[in-house]
Amino acid sequence: MQLSVRKLSKRYKTGDGVSGINIDIEKGELVTLLGPSGCGKTTVLRSIGGFLEPDSGDILIEGKSVIQLPPEKRPTSMVFQSYNLWSHMSVYDNLAFGLKIRKKPKAEIRAAVDDVLKLVRLSGFEKKYPAELSGGQQQRVALARSLLLNPAVLLLDEPFSALDAKLRHEMREELREIQMKTGLTMVFVTHDQEEALSLSDRIIVMNHGHIEQIAEPHKIYDEPASLYVASFIGKMNFLEGVAEEEGIRIGGLRLPNERKERGPVTAAVRPEDVQIDSMAAGEDRKDKEDRLTGRIKQVMILGHYAEVTVELNGFGIIRAFQSKEAVQQLHAGQEVGVSMTKWTVFPNNQTN
Protein backbone atom coordinates (compact mmCIF):
# COMPACT_ATOMS: atom_id res chain seq x y z
CA MET A 1 0.00 0.00 0.00
CA GLN A 2 1.62 3.26 -1.15
CA LEU A 3 -0.57 5.65 0.86
CA SER A 4 -2.80 5.03 3.88
CA VAL A 5 -4.92 7.68 5.59
CA ARG A 6 -6.23 6.42 8.93
CA LYS A 7 -9.03 8.01 10.94
CA LEU A 8 -8.03 11.49 9.77
CA SER A 9 -9.95 14.37 11.32
CA LYS A 10 -9.50 18.11 10.87
CA ARG A 11 -12.13 20.61 12.00
CA TYR A 12 -12.02 24.39 11.57
CA LYS A 13 -13.60 26.98 13.85
CA THR A 14 -16.44 27.33 11.33
CA GLY A 15 -17.37 23.67 11.85
CA ASP A 16 -16.19 22.71 8.36
CA GLY A 17 -13.55 20.04 7.85
CA VAL A 18 -13.33 16.26 7.77
CA SER A 19 -13.88 13.43 10.26
CA GLY A 20 -12.92 9.76 10.31
CA ILE A 21 -11.33 9.64 6.85
CA ASN A 22 -9.89 6.22 5.91
CA ILE A 23 -8.22 5.77 2.52
CA ASP A 24 -5.86 3.11 1.15
CA ILE A 25 -4.17 3.73 -2.22
CA GLU A 26 -2.01 1.14 -3.96
CA LYS A 27 1.25 1.86 -5.78
CA GLY A 28 0.61 3.12 -9.31
CA GLU A 29 -3.03 4.10 -8.73
CA LEU A 30 -4.57 7.40 -9.77
CA VAL A 31 -7.28 8.13 -7.23
CA THR A 32 -9.54 11.19 -7.36
CA LEU A 33 -11.14 13.01 -4.45
CA LEU A 34 -14.41 14.31 -5.88
CA GLY A 35 -17.03 16.59 -4.39
CA PRO A 36 -18.43 20.12 -4.30
CA SER A 37 -16.67 23.11 -2.74
CA GLY A 38 -16.41 22.76 1.03
CA CYS A 39 -16.78 18.96 1.12
CA GLY A 40 -13.28 18.44 2.58
CA LYS A 41 -11.35 17.06 -0.41
CA THR A 42 -8.64 19.77 -0.38
CA THR A 43 -8.35 19.43 3.42
CA VAL A 44 -7.49 15.74 2.95
CA LEU A 45 -5.00 16.49 0.15
CA ARG A 46 -3.23 19.27 2.07
CA SER A 47 -3.05 17.06 5.17
CA ILE A 48 -1.32 14.36 3.11
CA GLY A 49 1.14 16.95 1.78
CA GLY A 50 1.87 18.37 5.24
CA PHE A 51 0.39 21.82 4.58
CA LEU A 52 -2.29 21.26 7.24
CA GLU A 53 -1.90 19.68 10.67
CA PRO A 54 -4.77 17.23 11.38
CA ASP A 55 -6.51 17.17 14.76
CA SER A 56 -6.15 13.38 14.87
CA GLY A 57 -5.35 10.34 12.75
CA ASP A 58 -2.29 9.14 10.88
CA ILE A 59 -0.87 9.25 7.34
CA LEU A 60 1.45 6.49 6.13
CA ILE A 61 3.47 6.58 2.91
CA GLU A 62 5.18 3.34 1.91
CA GLY A 63 4.31 2.00 5.35
CA LYS A 64 5.95 4.84 7.31
CA SER A 65 4.09 7.54 9.24
CA VAL A 66 4.74 11.05 7.91
CA ILE A 67 2.33 12.87 10.21
CA GLN A 68 5.17 14.61 12.11
CA LEU A 69 7.14 15.64 9.00
CA PRO A 70 6.99 19.10 7.36
CA PRO A 71 6.05 19.25 3.63
CA GLU A 72 9.67 19.43 2.42
CA LYS A 73 10.57 16.25 4.31
CA ARG A 74 7.65 14.19 3.00
CA PRO A 75 8.01 11.94 -0.09
CA THR A 76 5.24 13.93 -1.78
CA SER A 77 5.01 16.73 -4.32
CA MET A 78 2.07 19.07 -4.94
CA VAL A 79 0.80 20.56 -8.20
CA PHE A 80 -1.38 23.57 -7.37
CA GLN A 81 -4.22 25.25 -9.27
CA SER A 82 -1.99 28.32 -9.65
CA TYR A 83 1.23 27.42 -11.43
CA ASN A 84 3.58 29.02 -8.86
CA LEU A 85 6.40 29.44 -11.38
CA TRP A 86 9.17 31.97 -10.76
CA SER A 87 8.59 34.67 -13.38
CA HIS A 88 12.23 35.87 -13.39
CA MET A 89 13.56 32.36 -14.13
CA SER A 90 13.60 30.50 -17.45
CA VAL A 91 11.77 27.20 -17.80
CA TYR A 92 15.09 25.38 -17.35
CA ASP A 93 15.93 27.26 -14.15
CA ASN A 94 12.41 26.75 -12.76
CA LEU A 95 12.84 23.02 -13.25
CA ALA A 96 16.47 22.77 -12.17
CA PHE A 97 16.03 24.77 -8.95
CA GLY A 98 14.83 21.88 -6.75
CA LEU A 99 17.58 19.58 -8.02
CA LYS A 100 20.26 22.25 -7.40
CA ILE A 101 19.07 22.55 -3.80
CA ARG A 102 19.54 18.80 -3.51
CA LYS A 103 23.11 19.34 -4.79
CA LYS A 104 22.72 17.09 -7.84
CA PRO A 105 25.59 17.21 -10.41
CA LYS A 106 25.07 19.61 -13.34
CA ALA A 107 25.13 16.83 -15.95
CA GLU A 108 22.52 14.86 -14.00
CA ILE A 109 20.29 17.96 -13.69
CA ARG A 110 20.57 18.66 -17.44
CA ALA A 111 19.65 15.06 -18.32
CA ALA A 112 16.73 14.98 -15.86
CA VAL A 113 15.32 18.30 -17.14
CA ASP A 114 15.63 17.17 -20.76
CA ASP A 115 13.82 13.90 -19.97
CA VAL A 116 10.96 15.55 -18.11
CA LEU A 117 10.47 18.19 -20.82
CA LYS A 118 10.10 15.36 -23.35
CA LEU A 119 7.57 13.70 -21.04
CA VAL A 120 5.40 16.85 -20.87
CA ARG A 121 5.96 17.65 -24.58
CA LEU A 122 7.89 20.88 -24.02
CA SER A 123 11.29 20.02 -25.54
CA GLY A 124 12.93 23.20 -26.84
CA PHE A 125 11.19 25.48 -24.30
CA GLU A 126 14.13 25.60 -21.85
CA LYS A 127 15.04 29.24 -22.50
CA LYS A 128 11.52 30.65 -22.47
CA TYR A 129 10.10 32.52 -19.47
CA PRO A 130 6.68 31.83 -17.87
CA ALA A 131 5.17 35.04 -19.34
CA GLU A 132 5.95 33.69 -22.85
CA LEU A 133 3.97 30.47 -22.23
CA SER A 134 0.25 29.73 -22.51
CA GLY A 135 -1.70 28.62 -19.42
CA GLY A 136 -1.52 25.00 -20.53
CA GLN A 137 2.24 25.21 -21.10
CA GLN A 138 2.77 26.80 -17.68
CA GLN A 139 0.79 23.99 -16.06
CA ARG A 140 2.94 21.44 -17.91
CA VAL A 141 6.06 23.10 -16.46
CA ALA A 142 4.52 23.01 -12.96
CA LEU A 143 3.74 19.31 -13.45
CA ALA A 144 7.28 18.66 -14.77
CA ARG A 145 8.77 20.38 -11.70
CA SER A 146 6.83 18.06 -9.39
CA LEU A 147 7.77 14.98 -11.42
CA LEU A 148 11.47 15.88 -11.14
CA LEU A 149 11.28 15.50 -7.36
CA ASN A 150 10.46 11.81 -7.94
CA PRO A 151 7.76 11.71 -5.23
CA ALA A 152 6.29 8.52 -3.78
CA VAL A 153 2.89 10.24 -4.09
CA LEU A 154 2.06 13.12 -6.45
CA LEU A 155 -0.73 15.40 -5.19
CA LEU A 156 -2.75 17.50 -7.65
CA ASP A 157 -5.11 20.20 -6.36
CA GLU A 158 -7.57 21.06 -9.19
CA PRO A 159 -4.59 21.67 -11.52
CA PHE A 160 -6.63 22.21 -14.71
CA SER A 161 -9.51 24.33 -13.42
CA ALA A 162 -8.03 27.61 -14.74
CA LEU A 163 -7.79 26.22 -18.30
CA ASP A 164 -10.47 26.33 -21.00
CA ALA A 165 -12.56 23.22 -21.72
CA LYS A 166 -10.58 22.01 -24.75
CA LEU A 167 -7.24 22.44 -23.00
CA ARG A 168 -8.55 20.76 -19.84
CA HIS A 169 -9.51 17.73 -21.92
CA GLU A 170 -6.05 17.60 -23.55
CA MET A 171 -4.26 17.97 -20.20
CA ARG A 172 -6.34 15.16 -18.68
CA GLU A 173 -5.28 12.84 -21.50
CA GLU A 174 -1.64 13.85 -21.11
CA LEU A 175 -1.66 13.41 -17.34
CA ARG A 176 -3.12 9.91 -17.70
CA GLU A 177 -0.47 9.07 -20.30
CA ILE A 178 2.31 10.36 -18.01
CA GLN A 179 0.91 8.41 -15.08
CA MET A 180 0.85 5.20 -17.10
CA LYS A 181 4.42 5.76 -18.38
CA THR A 182 5.90 6.58 -14.97
CA GLY A 183 3.75 4.31 -12.76
CA LEU A 184 3.46 7.19 -10.28
CA THR A 185 0.89 7.08 -7.51
CA MET A 186 -1.34 10.15 -7.83
CA VAL A 187 -4.06 11.73 -5.71
CA PHE A 188 -6.11 14.19 -7.75
CA VAL A 189 -8.66 16.68 -6.38
CA THR A 190 -11.51 18.00 -8.53
CA HIS A 191 -15.14 19.10 -8.37
CA ASP A 192 -15.55 18.16 -12.05
CA GLN A 193 -17.26 14.77 -12.31
CA GLU A 194 -16.35 14.31 -15.99
CA GLU A 195 -12.69 14.85 -15.08
CA ALA A 196 -12.95 12.28 -12.28
CA LEU A 197 -14.74 9.68 -14.41
CA SER A 198 -12.28 9.98 -17.31
CA LEU A 199 -9.03 10.05 -15.29
CA SER A 200 -9.36 7.79 -12.30
CA ASP A 201 -8.64 4.21 -11.36
CA ARG A 202 -10.90 4.86 -8.37
CA ILE A 203 -13.02 7.79 -7.20
CA ILE A 204 -13.62 8.90 -3.62
CA VAL A 205 -16.89 10.85 -3.45
CA MET A 206 -16.97 13.24 -0.51
CA ASN A 207 -19.86 15.09 1.12
CA HIS A 208 -19.80 17.41 4.15
CA GLY A 209 -16.48 16.11 5.47
CA HIS A 210 -17.06 12.38 5.11
CA ILE A 211 -16.70 9.74 2.40
CA GLU A 212 -19.91 8.61 0.65
CA GLN A 213 -18.37 6.00 -1.66
CA ILE A 214 -15.01 4.67 -2.87
CA ALA A 215 -15.15 2.69 -6.11
CA GLU A 216 -14.10 2.43 -9.74
CA PRO A 217 -15.66 5.07 -12.04
CA HIS A 218 -18.12 2.64 -13.68
CA LYS A 219 -19.36 1.46 -10.27
CA ILE A 220 -19.77 5.01 -9.00
CA TYR A 221 -21.84 5.76 -12.12
CA ASP A 222 -23.83 2.52 -12.38
CA GLU A 223 -24.11 1.55 -8.71
CA PRO A 224 -24.23 4.72 -6.57
CA ALA A 225 -24.09 3.82 -2.88
CA SER A 226 -26.32 6.67 -1.73
CA LEU A 227 -28.89 9.16 -2.97
CA TYR A 228 -26.21 11.85 -2.69
CA VAL A 229 -23.82 10.01 -5.04
CA ALA A 230 -26.68 9.31 -7.46
CA SER A 231 -27.58 13.00 -7.59
CA PHE A 232 -24.00 14.29 -7.78
CA ILE A 233 -22.56 12.03 -10.50
CA GLY A 234 -23.96 12.56 -14.00
CA LYS A 235 -27.54 13.39 -14.90
CA MET A 236 -30.22 11.47 -13.03
CA ASN A 237 -34.03 11.28 -12.85
CA PHE A 238 -35.72 10.72 -9.50
CA LEU A 239 -39.19 9.19 -9.10
CA GLU A 240 -41.02 8.83 -5.80
CA GLY A 241 -42.60 5.45 -5.08
CA VAL A 242 -43.61 2.98 -2.39
CA ALA A 243 -41.81 -0.31 -1.64
CA GLU A 244 -44.11 -3.22 -0.78
CA GLU A 245 -43.50 -6.94 -0.37
CA GLU A 246 -44.60 -7.72 -3.92
CA GLY A 247 -42.54 -4.91 -5.50
CA ILE A 248 -41.99 -1.19 -5.83
CA ARG A 249 -44.97 0.81 -7.00
CA ILE A 250 -44.55 4.08 -8.91
CA GLY A 251 -48.07 4.95 -10.00
CA GLY A 252 -49.12 2.04 -12.20
CA LEU A 253 -45.50 1.01 -12.81
CA ARG A 254 -44.21 -2.02 -10.91
CA LEU A 255 -40.50 -2.64 -10.30
CA PRO A 256 -38.80 -5.60 -8.55
CA ASN A 257 -37.93 -4.98 -4.90
CA GLU A 258 -34.54 -6.73 -4.88
CA ARG A 259 -33.23 -4.87 -1.81
CA LYS A 260 -36.37 -5.75 0.19
CA GLU A 261 -37.05 -2.09 0.96
CA ARG A 262 -40.18 -1.03 2.84
CA GLY A 263 -42.10 2.24 2.75
CA PRO A 264 -41.43 5.41 0.72
CA VAL A 265 -38.53 5.13 -1.73
CA THR A 266 -36.87 7.11 -4.51
CA ALA A 267 -35.99 5.39 -7.79
CA ALA A 268 -32.94 6.88 -9.53
CA VAL A 269 -32.89 6.40 -13.32
CA ARG A 270 -30.22 7.56 -15.80
CA PRO A 271 -31.58 9.38 -18.89
CA GLU A 272 -29.96 6.76 -21.14
CA ASP A 273 -31.96 4.05 -19.33
CA VAL A 274 -35.33 5.71 -20.11
CA GLN A 275 -37.28 4.43 -23.12
CA ILE A 276 -39.98 6.42 -24.89
CA ASP A 277 -42.76 4.87 -27.00
CA SER A 278 -45.28 6.90 -28.96
CA MET A 279 -48.89 5.96 -28.12
CA ALA A 280 -51.27 5.00 -30.88
CA ALA A 281 -54.50 7.01 -31.24
CA GLY A 282 -57.21 5.65 -28.97
CA GLU A 283 -54.75 3.61 -26.87
CA ASP A 284 -55.64 3.24 -23.20
CA ARG A 285 -54.07 6.24 -21.43
CA LYS A 286 -54.06 4.71 -17.95
CA ASP A 287 -50.73 3.76 -16.39
CA LYS A 288 -49.72 0.20 -17.16
CA GLU A 289 -47.50 -2.11 -15.16
CA ASP A 290 -44.58 -1.76 -17.56
CA ARG A 291 -44.65 1.99 -18.08
CA LEU A 292 -45.79 5.46 -17.11
CA THR A 293 -47.49 7.91 -19.45
CA GLY A 294 -46.92 11.57 -20.18
CA ARG A 295 -46.62 14.30 -22.76
CA ILE A 296 -43.44 15.46 -24.49
CA LYS A 297 -42.46 18.93 -23.36
CA GLN A 298 -39.28 19.40 -25.40
CA VAL A 299 -36.95 17.63 -27.85
CA MET A 300 -33.42 19.05 -27.81
CA ILE A 301 -30.78 17.86 -30.29
CA LEU A 302 -27.36 17.75 -28.59
CA GLY A 303 -25.02 16.68 -31.36
CA HIS A 304 -25.00 12.92 -31.87
CA TYR A 305 -27.95 12.36 -29.49
CA ALA A 306 -31.11 14.13 -28.32
CA GLU A 307 -32.54 14.90 -24.87
CA VAL A 308 -36.31 14.40 -24.65
CA THR A 309 -38.14 16.01 -21.72
CA VAL A 310 -41.44 14.35 -20.78
CA GLU A 311 -44.00 15.69 -18.31
CA LEU A 312 -45.31 12.54 -16.65
CA ASN A 313 -48.90 12.23 -15.48
CA GLY A 314 -48.62 12.80 -11.73
CA PHE A 315 -44.83 12.36 -11.44
CA GLY A 316 -43.24 15.55 -12.71
CA ILE A 317 -40.49 15.73 -15.32
CA ILE A 318 -38.35 12.89 -16.65
CA ARG A 319 -35.51 13.26 -19.17
CA ALA A 320 -34.39 10.65 -21.68
CA PHE A 321 -31.36 10.44 -23.97
CA GLN A 322 -32.37 9.12 -27.38
CA SER A 323 -30.61 8.67 -30.72
CA LYS A 324 -31.23 11.32 -33.37
CA GLU A 325 -33.00 8.70 -35.47
CA ALA A 326 -35.34 7.70 -32.62
CA VAL A 327 -36.61 11.26 -32.07
CA GLN A 328 -37.54 11.98 -35.69
CA GLN A 329 -41.11 10.86 -35.01
CA LEU A 330 -41.36 12.67 -31.66
CA HIS A 331 -42.59 16.23 -31.12
CA ALA A 332 -43.70 18.58 -28.33
CA GLY A 333 -47.22 17.87 -27.07
CA GLN A 334 -47.18 14.21 -28.15
CA GLU A 335 -48.49 11.62 -25.68
CA VAL A 336 -45.97 8.86 -24.96
CA GLY A 337 -45.33 5.84 -22.79
CA VAL A 338 -42.21 5.85 -20.63
CA SER A 339 -40.42 2.73 -19.39
CA MET A 340 -37.02 2.03 -17.78
CA THR A 341 -34.36 -0.57 -18.48
CA LYS A 342 -32.28 0.06 -15.33
CA TRP A 343 -32.73 1.82 -11.99
CA THR A 344 -31.45 2.05 -8.41
CA VAL A 345 -33.81 2.38 -5.44
CA PHE A 346 -33.03 4.25 -2.22
CA PRO A 347 -35.11 4.48 0.98
CA ASN A 348 -36.40 8.01 1.62
CA ASN A 349 -34.76 8.15 5.05
CA GLN A 350 -31.42 8.69 3.27
CA THR A 351 -30.31 12.30 3.26
CA ASN A 352 -29.60 13.70 -0.18
d(CA 147, CA 161): 20
Predicted confidence (pLDDT) per residue in 58-106, tens digit: 999 999 999 999 998 999 999 987 778 888 999 999 999 888 888 888 9
239, pLDDT greater than 60: yes
Q: Do the bridges between strand 17-25 and strand 305-312 make them parallel or antiparallel, or are there none, so unpaired?
A: unpaired
Do 21 and 61 belong to one domain? yes
Cα–chain center distance at 244 = 35
246, pLDDT greater than 90: no
Do 210 and 342 belong to one domain? no
pLDDT at site 329 = 84
pLDDT at site 225 = 93
Task: Provide mean pLDDT across the span 284-294.
Answer: 66
pLDDT at site 350 = 61
Do 306 and 217 belong to one domain? no
349, pLDDT greater than 80: no
Which DSSP symbol is given to 48?
H
pLDDT at site 206 = 96
286, pLDDT greater than 70: no
pLDDT at site 282 = 47
Helices 91-101 and 135-148: crossing angle in degrees, nearest 10, is: 20
CB atoms within 10 A of CB 46: 19
Q: Is residue 142 part of a domain?
A: yes
Q: Is residue 352 part of a domain?
A: no
Q: Is residue 198 part of a domain?
A: yes
Burial of 149 (0-12, 13-18, 19+ CB in 10 A): middle
* Exposure string over 123-139, b if 16+ CB within 10 A, otherwise e: eebbeebbeebeebbbb
Closest CA to 295 of 338, 339, 324: 338
pLDDT above 70: percentage of residues in the chain: 96
252, pLDDT greater than 80: no
Do 215 and 291 belong to one domain? no
- Taking CA atoms, 313 is separated from 192, 274, 296, in Å, by 34, 16, 11
pLDDT at site 256 = 84
What is the arrangement of strands in the sheet containing 263-269, beginning at the earlier edge strand? 253-255, 247-250, 237-244, 263-269, 344-347
Q: What secondary structure does DSSP assign to 90-156, as a single string?
A: -HHHHHHHHHHHTT--HHHHHHHHHHHHHHTT-TT-TT--GGGS-HHHHHHHHHHHHHHT--SEEEE
**Per the structure, how many domains does the chain have?**
2
Do 74 and 89 belong to one domain? yes
What is this structure's pTM?
Answer: 0.87
- Taking CA atoms, 184 is separated from 99, 106, 281, in Å, by 19, 25, 62
d(CA 3, CA 76): 10
Of 192, 213, 229, the last residue of a domain is 229
Predicted confidence (pLDDT) per residue in 104-127, tens digit: 889 999 999 999 999 888 998 989
Do 72 and 173 belong to one domain? yes
Q: Is residue 83 part of a domain?
A: yes
Predicted confidence (pLDDT) per residue in 195-235, tens digit: 999 999 999 999 999 999 999 999 999 999 999 999 999 89
Predicted confidence (pLDDT) per residue in 131-144, tens digit: 999 888 888 899 89
Do 210 and 267 belong to one domain? no
Do 220 and 242 belong to one domain? no
d(CA 279, CA 90): 68
Predicted confidence (pLDDT) per residue in 6-56, tens digit: 999 999 988 889 999 999 999 999 999 999 988 999 999 999 999 999 999
Q: Is residue 79 part of a domain?
A: yes
pLDDT at site 72 = 87
List Cβ neighbours of 317 (8 Å cut-off, separation of 6 or more). 297, 309, 310, 311
Do 48 and 118 belong to one domain? yes
Helices 135-148 and 165-182: crossing angle in degrees, nearest 10, is: 20
Predicted confidence (pLDDT) per residue in 297-339, tens digit: 999 988 888 999 999 988 889 999 998 888 888 889 999 999 8
- CA angle, 204 as apex, 199 and 210 as ends, to 5°? 155
pLDDT at site 236 = 94
351, pLDDT greater than 70: no
Q: Is residue 337 part of a domain?
A: yes
Helices (H) then strands (E): counts for the chain: 8, 20
- Residue type, position 44, single letter: V
Residue 342's domain comprises 235-347
